[in-house]
């Protein structure tokens, strides 16, 4: 916890230093305009990227596949959104980078190397039970056995 707080303090100090440097080169008005613009652009991109990741995850689930990569991408998009909330150039750059698929790929690889062998995935042998409505009637569809003797 202390490391996290120290990191937050360090980032805050660096953000102030960078902001002062940028505003001394381009002016206070332009620096503030960039900060405000990146907030709105970032919010738009986070929403668009997040919805795209959600669609891909839903497609994987509908096809009976585990959406591991999509979950990682979704977490990266959430972190990107959190980085784009506070005003500052460093956090904005980090947030925008996390919205890029090649950067998310690097993050996915790094995380999967650390997690591999530490997580157990249990898959159910039962296929999805669906309820289909036809002209107001509800038809129950029974679970189909997959040959393993379990429903």
Tens digit of each residue's pLDDT (9 = 90 or more) over 85-112: 888 999 999 999 999 999 999 988 888 8
Residue 139 in this model has a pLDDT that exceeds 80: no
Task: Kindly state the average pLDDT of the residues 114-126.
Answer: 64
User: What is the Cα–Cα distance from 134 to 56, expressed in whole angstroms?
Assistant: 29
Per-residue pLDDT tens digits for 13-39 = 999 999 999 999 999 999 999 999 999
- Looking at every residue in the chain, the average pLDDT score rounds to 84
Q: What's the pLDDT at 136?
A: 55
Q: What's the pLDDT at 144?
A: 55
User: What is the Cα–Cα distance from 96 to 89, expressed in whole angstroms?
Assistant: 10
Residue 1 in this model has a pLDDT that exceeds 60: yes
Task: Kindly state the average pLDDT of the residues 57-72.
Answer: 89
């Amino acid at each position: 916890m202390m490391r996290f707080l120290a990191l937050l303090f360090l980032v805050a100090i660096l953000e102030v230093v960078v902001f002062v440097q940028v505003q001394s080169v381009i002016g206070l008005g332009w620096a503030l305009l960039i900060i405000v613009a990146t907030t709105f652009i970032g919010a738009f991109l986070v929403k668009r990227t997040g919805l795209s990741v959600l669609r891909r995850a839903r497609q994987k689930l509908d096809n009976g596949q585990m959406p591991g990569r999509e979950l990682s991408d979704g977490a990266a998009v959430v972190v990107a959104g959190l980085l784009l909330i506070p005003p500052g150039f460093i956090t904005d750059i980090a947030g925008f980078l996390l919205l890029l698929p090649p950067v998310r790929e690097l993050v996915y690889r790094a995380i999967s190397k650390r997690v591999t062998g530490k997580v157990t995935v249990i898959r159910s042998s039962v296929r999805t039970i669906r309820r289909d409505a036809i002209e107001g009637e509800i038809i129950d569809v029974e679970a189909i056995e997959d040959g393993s003797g379990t429903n």
